A and B are shown apart, each in its own frame.
Chain A
Amino acid sequence: MPFLRILVLRLLTTGITLAGVAVIVFFVIRVVPGNPIAMMLPPGATEADIARLSALYGLDKPLVAQFGIWVAGVVQGDFGTSITTRQPVLALVLGRLPATLELSIMALVIACLLGGAAALTGTRFRGGRTEGAIDVANGMALSVPDFLWGLILILLFGVLVPIFHISGRVTPSLDLPFTTSFYLFESLIRLRFDLWADIVAHMFMPALALAIPLAAITGQLLKQSLKETMNLDYVTLARTKGYGESRVILREALRNAALPTLTLVGVQFTFLIGGTVIIERLFSYEGLGNMAIDAVINRDLPLIQGIVLLFAVIFTAVNLIVDLLYTVLNPRLRHG
């Protein structure tokens, strides 16, 4: 039962957080100077034109009333209409979400692989030069944010040795047979490996840029945790059973050492998702983040609201999932 109570409590605080985000976004963007309606119309538009269009978007009502209308809509799944494209915000946002999700998850996978490899190698050759080199690399990777790694990758593998694409999500001239926006996933399902390779060649560098800082922090923590675990009695006992050292690390230590790292990876993963905003811009990748920056530049209030709220939902969802995962993976808590 305590598990259920924790879950309910968590959902409750999550709700409060999301409500807070909604309130802040709504009121912050209403302070934006410059009438978005005036920007939509050609320069010669009259006051009357502006007023009419404002009324159409509900922007002539008092702020509190606007907020009420917006919340009422959101509850029913209506996030309003984008001012620039005149399409429903929800459809626009959901259309871009898969691109950002695929990018984030690919980055997470890369980060776990890189970080895990660094931690395991460092543990296997602990106390030696290899471990020292891994520590230095980790320190560098941690010191510099994804934005700079992105630029460095563009120079290295986009210009110097051009093996990856540096902009877009897929080569525009390609004929796409997809019905969903999960290009990476769907190309695999449809066994279109030519398309899949093209998509990966576009995604790999932005994903790697996002992954590097997370890989470093994961690697550092996992290595520390592994080294502590390697001194425990059950690991020593496994050594007497005839296993080699690598096998001991993988079989006996890794799982227990990974648990404390997991919570942290969760928090860091939300930072990674936040990083997609600028990385998508940098690589002209057509995801949510890129759309968000355009929306801000175009003063598209309903669209900004929708995107920020969606990001907040993703963040809190990730944290919730990590907490649940932690409980599931830890046998001591599972039966608690």
Chain B
Amino acid sequence: MSFLSIRNLSVRLKKGPPLLRRVSLDVAAGEVRGLVGESGAGKSMIGKAVLGILPPSVEVTEGEILLDGIDLLTLPQAQRRRRIGALAALIPQDPLTALNPSHRIGPQITDRLVDILGWTRADADARARNLLAEVQIADPDRVLRSYPHELSGGMRQRILIASAFAAEPKLIVADEPTTALDVTVQKQILKLIAGMQARHGTALLFVTHDLGVVSKVCQKLSVLYAGMVVEDTSVADFYAAPRHAYSAALLAATPKYTDPSAGLTPVPEVVIATVQAEVAAFDRGQAHG
């Protein structure tokens, strides 16, 4: 039984076009699954749906999101929030906007431990100090007393990672956690997330548009196009032989670290036409069924 199991999840803009088309995917306990696709393919939307933070302008039309066996979509809001808070966490995309500018760092890491899980202040503070050490922040005591604007972007992302692991969640959704960072910092952060994940045995849903990143961190992979899962496979199989033409083209379009001179090959228009036809066929089936 997978820890997270999404079954036939469809999401659309309220009275508007669909954003996710019957998406199904599983993340087993301790497993890392990558979610790749172009921007607008709906990969972030899946992460948001799992964490219950879909924007108010969209609605779920069908499907289930089973988190540890219970469908989140059937729970009332307060209960759903509590369950998600206890079992899952988010590593957000932009560290510059994801920390509250008027709170110090310390409480932002420990708040859920104290407020929701009922830890004592002292235990929570000790935990925060350990976590900061684990994400390789020197001088944790000073950092815990700082305000976000006093810290660099890389530093803030480390803090957000520490905060995500604070309550030992079983699942973490990492929503393009390196996109907003400098290239030099990106690698360190990636290594940090991979290392933390391995040590804590946390399942990870890793949303990215970068297949190069996927090969380093993930075991399983879902490729999305226009809100449809076009390929669901293991990373090893994918690199050996992608089954879908679109994922093959996507793989070909990714610059190789081994051969940077090869340059970028865009996804061929034929492939785009094929996958778009598939989406259209799916929508027709929905309309008739």
Chain A residues packing against B (C-beta within 8 Å) = 127, 231-234, 236-245, 247, 251-252, 255-256, 259, 330-332, 335
Contacts and interface: CB of A to CB of B under 8 A. Distances in A.
B149 interface: yes
Given A233-B97, A331-B101, A242 B116 contact: yes
A243 B150 contact: no
Contacts of B81: 239, 242-244
A236 B56 CA distance: 12
Contact of A332 (B78, B82, B93, B101): B101
Interface string B77-91: 110011011101110
A330 B100 CA distance: 12
Contact of A335 (B93, B100, B111, B150): B150
A240 B149 contact: no
B72 to A, nearest CB: 12
B53 A127 contact: no
A186 B271 CA distance: 82
Interface string B201-230: 000000000000000000000000000000
Contacts of B151: none
A267 B115 CA distance: 37
Q: Which among A234, A238, A244, A335 has the greatest number of chain B C-beta atoms within 10 A?
A: A234
B52 A240 contact: yes
Contacts of B185: none
Nearest to A126: B56
B98 A244 contact: no
A331 B115 contact: no
B161 interface: no
A196 to B, nearest CB: 35
A245 B77 contact: yes
A330 B88 CA distance: 32
A322 B45 CA distance: 42
B100 A241 contact: no
On chain B, which size bracket covers the interface? 20 to 34
Interface in B53-93: 53, 55-56, 77-78, 81-82, 84-86, 88-90, 92-93
Contacts of A127: 56
B94 interface: yes
A241 B112 contact: yes
A241 B101 CA distance: 17
A242 B86 contact: yes
Contacts of A251: 111
B110 to A, nearest CB: 11
B147 interface: yes
Contacts of B82: 242
B102 A243 contact: no
B51 interface: yes
A179 B160 CA distance: 57
Given A252-B100, A255-B102, A237 B77 contact: no
B99 interface: yes
Nearest to A258: B102
A240 B83 CA distance: 10
B183 to A, nearest CB: 22
B149 A241 contact: no
A242 B100 contact: no
Nearest to A236: B53
Nearest to A252: B100
Contacts of A232: 97
A204 to B, nearest CB: 34
A265 to B, nearest CB: 18
A233 B85 contact: no
B112 A332 contact: no
B89 A256 contact: no
B115 A243 contact: yes
Contact of A240 (B55, B89, B150): B89
B112 A233 contact: no
Q: Which among B55, B102, B147, B160 has the greatest number of chain A C-beta atoms within 10 A?
A: B102
B89 to A, nearest CB: 6
Given A239-B53, A239-B81, A241-B85, 15 more contacts: A231-B55, A233-B92, A233-B94, A234-B97, A239-B52, A240-B85, A241-B89, A241-B111, A242-B84, A242-B86, A243-B81, A243-B85, A244-B77, A332-B147, A335-B149
B86 to A, nearest CB: 6
B84 A240 contact: yes
9 contacts: A127-B56, A233-B98, A234-B101, A241-B89, A241-B116, A243-B85, A243-B115, A245-B77, A330-B102
A109 B92 CA distance: 39
A271 B55 CA distance: 39
B13 to A, nearest CB: 15
Nearest to B78: A244
Contacts of B85: 240-243
A236 B147 CA distance: 19
B117 to A, nearest CB: 9
Instruction: Please provide the 6 A-B residue pairs with the shortest distance between their CB atoms, ordered closest to farther.
Output: A242-B85, A233-B97, A241-B112, A233-B98, A234-B100, A240-B90
Nearest to B47: A240
A233 B150 CA distance: 18
Interface string B116-132: 10000000000000000
Contacts of B89: 240-241
Given A232-B97, A237-B90, A240-B84, A331 B102 contact: yes
Nearest to A231: B55
Nearest to B96: A233
B92 A237 contact: yes
A281 to B, nearest CB: 42
Contacts of B55: 231
A299 B154 CA distance: 70
Contacts of B98: 233-234, 237
